[in-house]
């Protein structure tokens, strides 16, 4: 009996004993192709020699320094590199230990900016339904995934919520993409006005929705419209690129493809590529300057911020991405992967949508392709696909509640940037078998009911 509080208290997952490249091995000798990087984390695959060397070197030099006493060369160099590659003006960096911490930091930085700007009445964040921003109380509060929030709702701040940009389900037949996008922006503007623009701190959104939506990209112009509204009402645009950033969609930041810069961006996952727990917040210099000229200190901090070994790993990851031109690889392999998925599932009666950007792709499962009717949530198709895939030596990241936190199933795919075309063929083939086995099993149980 395990003493760990595992994610599922009635199941103990397989014991991972080693991992190399695209493969993870468990204690029973089973191997798994990692087609999801865990949760879109392992962007360089496993056991990358350059990252291990950088970490070993840092451990031998200096494994820990508390940021209340010291900074370190490696944290400074990482911040400098991140700032140099970030969208316009985002030159200030706060290093944390993961995505939820990054979002908490973003929310507090935004609030303190307004407090120090003489606008302490600003206390409202606006966010989108079906978003995921992390599991700590602040991040969970802005997140819009109902089943995750529900048990904790009395502890969470109120957050007005608008519709996600979810064209597959929400664009009406006959409606143009422009009209659909305009409607979303009108809804956001109405939410800002309803809250009172002078009370709003900012708008939070994932540029490409990951875990809860299954790789949902925005429509053209959506984020330009968001930026314009934030400017109009002088509120901050907080982008959550924890999953979609750091090259995952083919550019270092997903928002680059939208032609806009946020005021604050949260990153994690691919930043350390799983070699160390690390996240970061990047902010517009002017925002941090306001606090520097005011109280002079950001009222925040954790014991492990700016951890030197984590910084060394993340710095090495950035260098490998640049040296090996992995952003081009993500774009190329991403296109190839999408083509293969379309060949394999484009006509599958239960795959309603194949979507995403770069190597962040998703399949949305439906009972009926024509009506887009989802499967009965009680069937837990996503869970069945995950376990069939694992039995088939394949790691994918399926999730339920795609539509509204309760209904809908999707499968998220986020292989490492080093994936080859051969790996992709193998992934598609195993996924095909897993999906069909899960559907066949579900059909059999449904018939025997």
Ligand X SMILES: Cc1ncc(COP(=O)(O)O)c(C=O)c1O
CA dist list (Å): 311 to 19, 70, 198, 220, 315: 22, 14, 38, 35, 6
Residue 23: other Cβ atoms inside 10 A: 17
Residue 94 pairs in a beta bridge with 281
Q: Is 217 among the residues that bind ligand X (CB under 6 A)?
A: no
- In contact, 26 and 17? CB cutoff 8 Å: yes
Return the sign of the alpha-carbon dihedral for residues 10, 149, 363, 422.
negative
Helix (H, G, I), strand (E, B) or coil at 44: coil
Find the binder of ligand X among 210, 358, 400, 401 (CB under 6 A).
Answer: 210
Find the binder of ligand X among 33, 93, 96, 211 (CB under 6 A).
Answer: 211
Residue whose Cβ sits closest to ligand X = 99
Report, in Å, the least distance between residue 206 CB and ligand X: 5
Find the binder of ligand X among 113, 114, 132, 223 (CB under 6 A).
Answer: 132
Q: Is 213 among the residues that bind ligand X (CB under 6 A)?
A: no
Q: Which of residues 219-248 bind ligand X (CB under 6 A)?
A: 240, 242-243
Task: List, edge to edge, every strand of the sheet that includes 23-26.
Answer: 16-20, 23-26, 31-34, 394-395
Report, in Å, the least distance between residue 32 CB and ligand X: 20
C-beta closer to ligand X: residue 133 or 350? 133
Q: Is 207 among the residues that bind ligand X (CB under 6 A)?
A: no
C-beta closer to ligand X: residue 184 or 243? 243
Report, in Å, the least distance between residue 375 CB and ligand X: 23
Q: Is 334 among the residues that bind ligand X (CB under 6 A)?
A: no
Report, in Å, the least distance between residue 323 CB and ligand X: 26
C-beta closer to ligand X: residue 240 or 258? 240
C-beta closer to ligand X: residue 311 or 366? 311
Helix (H) or strand (E) holding 336: helix 326-345
Distance of CA 78 to the CA centre of its chain: 21
Output helix, strand, coil percentages for the chain, rounded to the nearest 5: 45, 15, 40
Q: Is 39 among the residues that bind ligand X (CB under 6 A)?
A: yes
What would the x/- binding string for ligand X be over residues 249 to 288, using CB under 6 A? -------------------x--------------------
Q: Is 362 among the residues that bind ligand X (CB under 6 A)?
A: no
Question: Which residue is associated with the tokens 């930041």?
Answer: 253
C-beta closer to ligand X: residue 106 or 427? 106
CA dist list (Å): 417 to 9, 34, 244, 405, 423: 33, 11, 13, 30, 11
C-beta closer to ligand X: residue 241 or 353? 241
Nearest-10 crossing angle of helices 177-195, 222-232:
30
Length of the chain: 449
Instruction: Give the range of 42-50, 191-199, 206-214, 216-224 binding ligand X by CB under 6 A.
Output: 206-214
- Two tokens, residue 111: 């609030």
C-beta closer to ligand X: residue 344 or 396? 396
Give the count of residues interacting with ligand X (CB under 6 A).
Answer: 15
Find the binder of ligand X among 45, 134, 352, 400 (CB under 6 A).
Answer: 134
Q: Is 206 among the residues that bind ligand X (CB under 6 A)?
A: yes
Q: DSSP per residue over 310-331, as a string? A: HHHHHHHHHHHHHHTTHHHHHH
C-beta closer to ligand X: residue 22 or 127? 127
b/e map 85-96, b = 16+ CB within 10 Å: bbbeebbbbbbb
- Two tokens, residue 267: 């990153």
Find the binder of ligand X among 93, 103, 280, 411 (CB under 6 A).
Answer: 103
Q: Is 400 among the residues that bind ligand X (CB under 6 A)?
A: no
C-beta closer to ligand X: residue 82 or 438? 82
Residues in the site for ligand X, rule: CB under 6 A? 39, 98-100, 103, 132-134, 206, 210-211, 240, 242-243, 268
């Amino acid at each position: 009996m395990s003493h760990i509080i595992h994610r599922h208290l009635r199941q103990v997952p397989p014991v991972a004993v080693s991992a190399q490249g695209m493969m993870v091995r468990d204690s029973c000798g089973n191997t798994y192709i990692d087609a999801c990087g865990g949760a879109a984390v392992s962007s360089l695959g496993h056991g990358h020699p350059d990252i291990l060397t950088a970490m070993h070197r840092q451990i031998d030099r200096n494994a820990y320094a508390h940021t209340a006493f010291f900074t370190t060369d490696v944290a400074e160099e990482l911040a400098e590199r991140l700032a140099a590659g970030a969208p316009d003006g985002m030159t200030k960096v706060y290093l944390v230990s993961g995505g939820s911490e990054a979002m908490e930091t973003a929310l507090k930085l935004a609030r303190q900016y307004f407090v120090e700007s003489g606008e302490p009445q600003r206390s409202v964040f606006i966010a989108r339904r079906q978003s995921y921003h992390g599991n700590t109380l602040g991040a969970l509060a802005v997140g819009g995934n109902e089943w995750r929030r529900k048990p904790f709702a009395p502890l969470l701040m109120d957050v007005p919520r608008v519709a996600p940009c979810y064209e597959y389900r929400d664009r009406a037949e006959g409606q143009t993409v422009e009209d659909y996008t305009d409607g979303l922006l009108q809804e956001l503007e109405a939410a800002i006005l309803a809250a009172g623009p002078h009370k709003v701190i900012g708008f939070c959104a994932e540029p490409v929705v990951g875990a809860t939506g299954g790789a949902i990209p925005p429509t053209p112009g959506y984020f330009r419209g968001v930026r314009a509204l934030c400017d109009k009402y002088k509120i901050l645009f907080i982008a959550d690129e924890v999953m979609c950033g750091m090259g995952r969609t083919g550019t270092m930041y997903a928002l680059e493809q939208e032609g806009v810069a946020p005021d604050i961006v949260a990153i994690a996952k691919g930043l350390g590529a799983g070699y160390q727990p690390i996240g970061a917040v990047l902010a517009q210099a002017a925002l941090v300057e306001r606090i520097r000229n005011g109280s002079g200190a950001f009222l925040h901090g954790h014991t492990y911020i700016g951890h030197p070994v984590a910084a060394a790993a993340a710095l090495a990851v950035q260098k490998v991405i640049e040296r090996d031109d992995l952003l081009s690889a993500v774009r190329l392999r991403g296109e190839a992967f999408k083509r293969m998925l379309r060949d394999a599932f484009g006509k599958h009666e239960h795959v309603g949508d194949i979507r995403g950007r770069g190597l962040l792709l998703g399949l949305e499962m439906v009972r009926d392709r024509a009506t887009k009717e989802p499967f009965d949530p009680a069937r837990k198709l996503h869970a069945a696909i995950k376990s069939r895939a694992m039995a088939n030596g394949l790691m994918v990241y399926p999730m339920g509640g795609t539509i509204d936190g309760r209904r809908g199933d999707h499968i998220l795919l986020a292989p490492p940037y080093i994936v080859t075309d051969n790996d992709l063929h193998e992934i598609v083939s195993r996924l095909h078998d897993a999906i069909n086995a899960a559907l066949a099993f579900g059909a059999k149980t449904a018939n025997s009911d």
